[in-house]
Amino acid sequence: MRKFQLMIKAQEIKITGLVQGVGFRPFIYRLAHKHHLKGFVENNNLGVRVIIEGIANELNSFTKDIIPEAPQASSIDHISSLEIAVRHFDSFAIEKSSSVSDAVTEVSPDISVCPDCLNDMKYQERRINYPFTNCTNCGPRFTIIKDLPYDRAKTTMHEFEMCPECNKEYTNVLDRRFHAQPVACKNCGPEYTLYYKEHKTNDISTIIDSCCNLLEQNKIVAIKGLGGYHLACSAFHDTTIRQLRERKNREGKPFALMFRDLDAAEEYLFIDNDEKELLTSWQKPITLLKIKKELAPSISINLNTVGAMLPYMPFHYQLFEKLKIPAIVLTSGNISDEPIVIDNNEALERLGHISDAVITYNRDIHNRTDDSVAMVTNGKSRVIRRSRSYVPSPIRLHLDTESIFAAGAELVNCFCIGKGNQAIMSQHIGDLKNLETLDFYTESAQRFERLFRFKPEIVACDMHPDYLSTRYAKSLGLPIVETQHHHAHIASCMAEHKLDEDVIGLSFDGTGYGDDGHIWGGEFFVCNLNNYQRMAHFEYIPQPGGDLVTKQPWRMMLSYLHHYFGNDILTKHANLFNGIPMQDAEMVLSMIEKGINCPLTSSAGRLFDAVAALIDVCKTASYHAEPPMRLESVATDSSLFYPYESGKIVNMKKTFEGIINDLNQHVDVSLISGKFHNTVVHIIVDQVRWISEQTKIKTVVLSGGSFQNRILLKKVEDLLNDSTFAVFSQSAIPSNDGGIALGQLAIAAKRRALGLI
Ligand code: ZN
Ligand code: ZN
Ligand code: FE
């Protein structure tokens, strides 16, 4: 006995990264059990801590197995182990943690179905072809949770009573389904229903077969997804796709696709290794990819990219197993800009008119979440819309954020709450312009309060007095921190990278309320989390008709031309106004001359609008940010650029002269666009150097929706990195207004820490 004890060793293992709320402790338990080890596992502020003892060999294998066998939703940053004194535990236990806010860590995002569950759907009798198969490593989470503690009774699974077999799995700590709250099987779980004309069926094989037939026959099918309904149709039949556009009142905005698998996607799209990693990650986001071989033209209408995703629910896999076409359009089930439909009756009523059949299931979606959207630029993934499978994973900050509510901006709104040193961003809410979206916003804000045991004490919002998010913030009757839009963009990027210093901050986007009441958006700041100084900006140009220019970018073109070349542009440059009714152009010109409804803007987005209209790739737009997307899409790579005047006020007169010159010489618009992109890149680099000379600051932070432009971001990052600047751009958090709430939160937290609130 004595000899045996000598072989026992003990270790303290610390694992950091995304290891909480993803089934990590039961995983460690099972691994310890497999290797006959004793001790315990617990969550702490940094991640997971394991005290483990047993035979040395087994201890080594245990440590070696952690990374390759970890739950798919986890991501390990670092493992450290330290030999400690043996304490002779008699078992292995999962300890309740004392030092972390469990409210945060218990709510996991939804996780795409895991390979083991897909395997169970083939071989485990109770789960053969059962589309609600899940385990601790996969399945619905945030979308079904109503309250804490996270157990079945507090989810929308509460009405499904576990059968004895499921219960056995649920209560056996060695089972993969131990404490998997949504555990279910054929005998006890939810089921799908197909409504097609007068028919209705619950038989899953029939539903899959009918769905395949309908899609192959170019029909539109509404299918209930994880966080809301989708509308699906063949990705190869243009007429159907145009019909879908018409019926859901979505004129031009690109549709997302779902491919059968990676091989199918690679046949139609260019996918590099970084993009492959993103596309196949457990979050399965819609990934923006370059088109290799055209599918139906109406999917993204002349753009060179498309958003593609891979199956993530069991139903998707079952569908593609039978479906003869390798890709379908899979777009949010909603009308126009309303929130995605989640209610079954509403789906039957409203989506029933859009689709030829409706496939629903009887487990409710509690928290609506859209598919997330991401892309890769400069080898890094960039989340553009942070929703399904990302929310509500917390973002760790270096600041105390407790009890701060950040209301977000207006477009692609997300709000954010502070818990301890963590920030929890809401799912994508949408454009806060209609009543339905505002209801969704208010409801979600209230739900976050309850779910995370959050009581707001300070509210951060945009300075814009008319944003509905600002009004909501003010209606709470709490101390308010108003943040300048572009300062919040830069602070969002700083928070993501835990920066807390003076930086050169660039915020390029479409619109944001400025200190002087003008519309800002091409901004060069020197700032920290508390303060900002506007060092330089693009020249102010009238924005005739206000927001209307986003639909009619030719108005910005006219405004720029008028500003630089005078009153007679309509006669002098008549050829540039092809396709625009002369009457309209004259009216806009007279608005500018008289200064009627012409707010001033320094927006980079509006500059891109003007150039897109000028080179005639987008004179009128049918969706948000279409002009810059088209401009980027046509650009060819070159090293040429136009002249410009940088400085405190960036003057683009020479750039416009250059473009018009090129147009008159019939230079290809692809080259003009490439040269224009380079011009903006050069301006940025010049400005950054100039500001750095004055301030000695070497840290550069890039944010704002314009940095979703891949050419711009890549070239600016490459050039600045080459010249000894440390450059930070957004990756996990959107650089568009969807990420702004994080910046608002960080600013408020910093000001509070400084005693300014
Ligand atoms: Zn699973
Ligand atoms: Zn069961
Ligand atoms: Fe913005």
- What is the per-residue pLDDT across 103-112, written as a single tens digit (0 to 9) for each? 566 788 999 9
d(CA 254, CA 235): 12
Q: Give me ligand 1 centre to Cα 378, in Å.
A: 33
Ligand 2 centroid distance, CA of 194 (Å): 22
| pLDDT of the residue at 7 | 84
Q: Provide the pLDDT for residue 1.
A: 46
Q: How far is the CA of 29 from the centre of ligand 1 (A)?
A: 17
Token readout for 126 is: 């109770």
Ligand nearest 116 Cα, by number? Answer: 1
In 573-652, alpha helices (H): 582-594, 604-614, 626-634
250-287 in b/e form (b: 16+ CB < 10 A) is: bebbbbbbbbbeeebbeebbebeeebbebbbbbbbbbb
Residue ending a domain, choose from 361, 393, 410: 361
Q: Would you say residue 398 lies in a domain?
A: no
CB 565 within 8 A of CB 572: yes
Look up the CATH number of the domain holding residue 149.
3.90.870.30
* Residue with token string 């952690």: 66
Rounded to the nearest angstrom, the distance between the alpha carbon of 412 and the centre of ligand 3 is 10
Retrieve residue 547's tokens: 């927001």
CA of 464 to the centre of ligand 3 (A): 12
pLDDT in tens, 296-329: 999 999 999 999 999 999 999 999 999 999 999 9
Amino acid at 602: S
Distance CA 131, CA 113 (A): 10
Answer whether residue 408 is part of any domain. no
Instruction: Give domain status of residue 246, yes or no.
Output: yes
With respect to residue 135, please indicate whether it lies within any of the assigned structural domains. Answer: yes
Q: Are both 691 and 613 inside the same structural domain?
A: yes
The CATH number for 346's domain is 3.90.870.10
How many Å lie between the centroid of ligand 1 and the Cα of residue 74?
14
Please state the φ and ψ torsions of residue 51, each to the nearest 5 degrees.
Answer: -105, 120
Please tell me the predicted confidence (pLDDT) of residue 98: 60
Ligand number, closest to the Cα atom of 411: 3
Residue 180 C-alpha to ligand 2 middle, in angstroms?
12
Of the listed ligands, the closest to the CA of 492 is 3
Cβ 703 vs Cβ 735: under 8 Å: yes
The amino acid at 576 = L
Give the whole-angstrom CA distance, residue 144 versus residue 228.
11
- Is the CB of residue 313 less than 8 Å from the CB of residue 304? no
Helix (H) or strand (E) holding 444, with range, is helix 435-451
Question: Which ligand minimizes its atom distance to the CA of 603?
Answer: 3
Taking phi over 0 as left and psi of -120 to 50 as alpha, with beta for the rest, 404 belongs to: beta
Ligand in nearest proximity to the CA of 161: 2
pLDDT at 101: 58
Domain match, 172 and 232 both: no
Ligand number nearest CA of 410 is 3
Ligand 2 midpoint to CA 126 (Å): 7
User: Please, which residues have CB within 8 angstroms of residue 138's CB and are 6 or more apart in sequence?
Assistant: 72, 73, 111, 112, 113, 114, 117, 282
Nearest bound ligand to the CA of residue 177 = 1
What SS3 state is found at 732? coil
**Total domains, the chain:** 4
Least distant ligand from the CA of 488: 3
Phi, psi for 361 (deg, rounded to 5): -145, 165
Same domain, 157 and 29: no
Of 357, 460, 474, nearest in space to 401 by CA: 460
DSSP run (H or E) holding 727: strand 726-729
Task: Tell me whether residue 718 is in a domain.
Answer: no
Query: What local confidence, expressed as pLDDT, does residue 616 receive?
Result: 97
Three-state secondary structure string covering 76-104: EEEEEEEEECCCCCCCEEECCCCCCCHHH
Ligand number, closest to the Cα atom of 119 = 1
Q: Are 144 and 153 in contact (CB under 8 A)?
A: no
What SS3 class is residue 243? helix
Structure tokens at 268: 């139609």
Same domain, 571 and 660: yes
Strand order in the sheet with 480-483: 395-396, 422-425, 416-419, 404-406, 458-462, 480-483
Q: CB–CB of 224/344 below 8 Å?
A: yes
DSSP 705: G
In the three-class reduction of DSSP (H, G, I as helix; E, B as strand; rest coil), residue 200 is classed as: strand
Do 54 and 181 sit in the same domain of this protein? no
The verdict on residue 610 lying in a domain is yes
The answer on 223 and 127 residing in a single domain is no
CA of 402 to the centre of ligand 1 (A): 34
Write down which residue in 698, 717, 734 finishes a domain.
698
* 174 and 202 inside one domain: no
CA–centroid distance, 634 to ligand 2, in Å, is: 54
Q: Ligand 1 mean position to 501 CA, how many Å?
A: 43
User: Are 210 and 289 in the same domain?
Assistant: yes
29 and 134 inside one domain: no
Structure token digits, residue 326: 């390798």
Instruction: Assign residue 33 a region (left: φ > 0; alpha: ψ between -120 and 50; beta: otherwise).
Output: alpha
Q: How far is the CA of 513 from the centre of ligand 3 (A)?
A: 9
Phi-psi region of 480 (alpha: psi -120 to 50; beta: other; left: phi over 0): beta
Q: What is the whole-number distance in angstroms between the Cα of residue 317 and the centre of ligand 2?
A: 21
Q: 356 alpha carbon to ligand 1 midpoint, in Å?
A: 32
Q: Rounded to the nearest whole angstrom, what is the distance from the C-alpha of residue 131 to the centroid of ligand 3?
A: 40
In a domain, 587, yes or no: yes
**How does DSSP assign 173-185, residue by residue?**
TTSTTTT-TT---
How far apart, in whole angstroms, are the C-alpha atoms of residue 319 and residue 569? 57
- 184 CA distance to ligand 2 middle (Å): 5
SS3 label, residue 296: coil
- Give the CATH number, domain containing residue 81: 3.30.70.100
Same domain, 550 and 667: yes
What is the CA(54)–ligand 1 centre distance, in A? 30
- Say whether both 357 and 239 belong to one domain: yes
Q: Closest-lying ligand to the alpha carbon of 735?
A: 3
User: Domain span at residue 86?
Assistant: 2-94
Q: Which among 361, 382, 397 is the end of a domain? A: 361
What Rg, from alpha-carbon coordinates, does the chain have?
Answer: 27
Q: Is 336 left (phi over 0), alpha (psi -120 to 50) or beta?
A: left
Residue 54 in any domain: the answer is yes
Structure tokens at 703: 């944010």
| pLDDT averaged per 10 residues, the chain (length 757) | 67 88 88 96 86 95 95 87 95 78 74 97 98 96 90 93 97 91 97 96 98 98 98 98 95 96 98 98 97 96 96 98 98 92 96 96 98 98 98 93 97 96 96 93 96 95 96 97 98 98 98 97 98 98 97 98 94 91 96 97 98 97 96 97 98 98 97 98 98 98 98 97 93 98 98 96
Q: CA 479, 483, 488, 490: dihedral to nearest 10 degrees?
A: -120
Ligand number with the minimum distance to the CA of 176 = 1
The predicted structure's pLDDT at residue 722: 83
The CA–CA distances, whole Å, from 512 to 221, 409, 666, 713 equal: 39, 9, 36, 20
Q: Do residues 580 and 553 both lie within one domain?
A: yes
- How many angstroms separate the CA atoms of 289 and 305, rounded? 5
Determine contact, residues 385/355, Cβ cutoff 8 Å.
Answer: no
**564 phi-psi bin (left φ>0, alpha ψ -120 to 50, beta other):** alpha
Q: Which helix or strand (DSSP H or E) is residue 471 part of?
A: helix 468-475
174-209: b (≥16 Cβ within 10 Å) or e: ebbbbbbbbbbbbebbbbbbbbbeeeeeeebeebbe
Q: Is residue 530 within 8 Å of residue 502, measured between CB atoms?
A: no
| Distance from C-alpha of 543 to C-alpha of 301, rounded to nearest angstrom | 27
Q: Are the C-beta atoms of residues 737 and 743 closer than 8 Å to each other?
A: no
